[in-house]
Chain A
Amino acid sequence: MNLVSIGINHRTAPLEVREKMWFSADEMRSILPTIRDRWFSECFLISTCNRTEIYGIPSAANGTLPAVDNVGQYLIDAKSARSFVNKHHLYSMHSAFAVSHLFRVASGVDSMVVGDVQILSQLKEGFNLAQEQRTIGIFLNRLAQSAYRVGKRARTESTIGEGAVSISYAAVELAGKIFENLSKKSALLVGAGETGELTARHLTGKGIGRLFVTNRTRSKAEELVASLGGSVSDFDQWTTTMNEVDIVISSVESPQPIIMASQLANVMRKRSNRPLFIIDIGVPRNVEPSANAIENIFLHDLDALNGIVDQNLDKRKSEIPRVNGIILEGLKEFYGWYSSLEVTPTIADLHNHFEEIRQNEVTKNANRFSSANDRELLELVTKRIVNKLLHVPTTMLKNGHEESDEIKRKRIHILRALFGLNKDADKHS
């Protein structure tokens, strides 16, 4: 397959370069038709914070060798990024390598954070945009479907996308291992650090029942509440609030612990020993570490959460061989379809299909012809009709040497779809 992929990603360029090559949906809408008209018969573009890649089938006018430099340069110019991006940041892949690369991207194996769950929806967005702009046809449509299937299988049949890979999400995952239903729980965010805010945001996303925010500077707490929801709690009262909540996220800048174990022992008595999950993301730590020895207090600091993240990343990496197997199956399936678009097997499938119909009809109606001679004549006549019907399509398929490979395959694809030959092929495979 004459597929080309040209792009830039986290392996070839640092963030400050990649971000210059990020295309919004509107930008993609405006450049896709131009790229298709100049270089490709079909194309689509994917753009995320870690990669921008274009996949295309070179048009007949451009021959089999795509103008990689030209397409790359066009993308750079479209973003006015000549002073940041050069051709060394770009890479290109062809044929099976490009197909395989797309499947690796879809399955999250090629992501910066292995198993990234967002990439599949970003891929879908790219395909949809190309469909909307009518820049993809038979081949890339099928390729996109196959890539999407591979991506979905990777997520359902392996654990490559499982486990938190950020500190804030690891904290929420941990909360989910202690509490059954976060919507019946409440949380208190102490301080306004970035990770703390992100953790609170994830908790809100998971439907936490109530959220209290407290800060030395009340206006900062109010700002956070305006964006996260919940209510502001007085900073000098926050130990009292701990009696009521189930989760405490603490990220206060303080040279020494601000919550002592003895205080927490009192808190636990007042809250009838209900479990209390404390996420201490302050540096230095906000909570006296010995508090973890108190029954039903689950105290976790940055090191513990980092441990979860590292472990999850290792687990995701260990799933790569399993996902590679899924990719291989996807490649086999895709190339199985692509090979079915060859002339000889299509002619054979077409003849078999018609012959099957002919034989069925002859068998059904054989009783109406009493003598052996009549039945022989029936065979002969129906065979002749079928051969005559198939003569023109067969000749059309055999000729056309002057046409490009892609046009021939497109014609075969239409013919197979028209007579339902793909269903037959799937049945036999």
Chain B
Amino acid sequence: MIDILNGALPLLYAGTVWLYARAFFSDAPVAKKIKTPVLIGTAIAHAGYLLLRTLTFQHPPITTTSEIMSLIAFCVAVAYAVTEILTKVKNTGYFILILSFFFQVVSTFFIQDLHEVKPILRSNLLGIHVSAALLGYTAISISAGYGFLYLMLYHNIKSNRFGVLYAKLPNLETLERMSFVSTVLGFFLITIAIIIGFVWLPKAYESFSYFDGKLIGTLVVWGLYGIGLVAKRMLGWQGRKIMILSLTGFVISVFSLTAINLFFSSFHNFY
């Protein structure tokens, strides 16, 4: 059953993203009507998958990068669904949920089933550390999604291209606000993850190193977002510059989560 769901989830996300794309680009009435229920169905299936993994392997799905990626995909989908329902801004789903699709595809292809986990992975502090990091990354993924939309709309307006994006997207200030709120939330959560990591991890790991790729990646991301927030507050930075910073932070965070873990050895890898 786990394998079936693991294989089905990318297809479910692909279907959801396709429906959101049809609703956005073609105004297809059926897609407009069923996209949100299909998203909710996909999220429920994903929740079932994560629960099944937890019950089967007797540990929460946070022990490998692929499990974490699947969790991020789930968090992004749920966060988007809640945002859509609360704000009634229904036109941005394609651009946000494509992140869930991407994360889930990577997870599906690389996931391994760990029956035995290290005792350290049962620590509560690690649970808080991972949860904070996970939610933080979800927030900055969403922030990047809105940042990307901002830049597209910004350039469309500047260059007098008044096509589908212009017609369907919310205004620039709304996109900037949504991205900013997600950034602040993401920064706060990653700060918690870093503090716990710095205080507790050196004691917990014999092989702890401040030169660990993921740790450096996370610090760079955190620093970038910190610079962005300070620049916005103190130097009045806004709009395009801040959005570029947000997207850069997101690209580095994806790199830190995937490439570094796949290609470099690190105490942050648990398999």
Residues of chain A touching chain B, judged by Cβ–Cβ distance below 8 Å, are 157, 159, 163, 174, 176-181, 272-275, 292, 295-296, 298, 300, 303-304, 307-308, 311, 315
Contact = CB atoms under 8 A, between A and B. Distances in A.
B171 A180 contact: yes
B160 A179 contact: no
Nearest to B157: A298
Contact of A311 (B162, B237, B239, B241): B162
Interface in B138-180: 153, 157-158, 160, 162-163, 166-167, 169, 171-174, 177
A298 B171 contact: no
Contact of A180 (B29, B162, B174, B238): B174
A295 B174 contact: no
Nearest to A311: B162
Contact of A178 (B160, B173, B240, B241): B173
Nearest to A299: B158
Contact of A300 (B160, B172, B174): B160
Contacts of B239: 273, 275, 295-296
B25 to A, nearest CB: 13
Nearest to B29: A157
Nearest to A179: B173
A177 B155 CA distance: 12
Find the residue from B160, B162, B167 having the highest chain A CB count within 10 A.
Answer: B162
B78 to A, nearest CB: 25
A178 B174 CA distance: 9
Judged by DSSP, the binding face of B is helix
Interface string B221-260: 0000000000000001111110000000000000000000
Contacts of B166: 177
B172 A177 contact: yes
Size range of the interface on B?
20 to 34
A266 to B, nearest CB: 15
B113 interface: no
Contact of B177 (A180, A273, A303, A308): A180
20 contacts: A157-B29, A176-B171, A177-B157, A177-B166, A178-B171, A178-B172, A180-B174, A272-B236, A273-B236, A273-B239, A275-B172, A275-B173, A295-B240, A295-B241, A296-B238, A296-B240, A298-B158, A300-B160, A303-B160, A307-B162
Nearest to A271: B236
Nearest to B173: A180
Given A300-B160, A304-B160, A177 B237 contact: no
A73 to B, nearest CB: 47
A25 B162 CA distance: 40
B152 to A, nearest CB: 12
B238 A163 contact: no
Nearest to A309: B162
A273 B171 contact: no
Contact of B171 (A177, A295, A300): A177
Contacts of A174: 157
A311 B161 CA distance: 10
Contacts of A163: 167
B157 A178 contact: yes
Given A178-B171, A273-B236, A296-B240, 12 more contacts: A176-B171, A177-B153, A177-B157, A178-B157, A180-B171, A181-B173, A274-B238, A275-B238, A292-B158, A295-B241, A296-B238, A308-B162
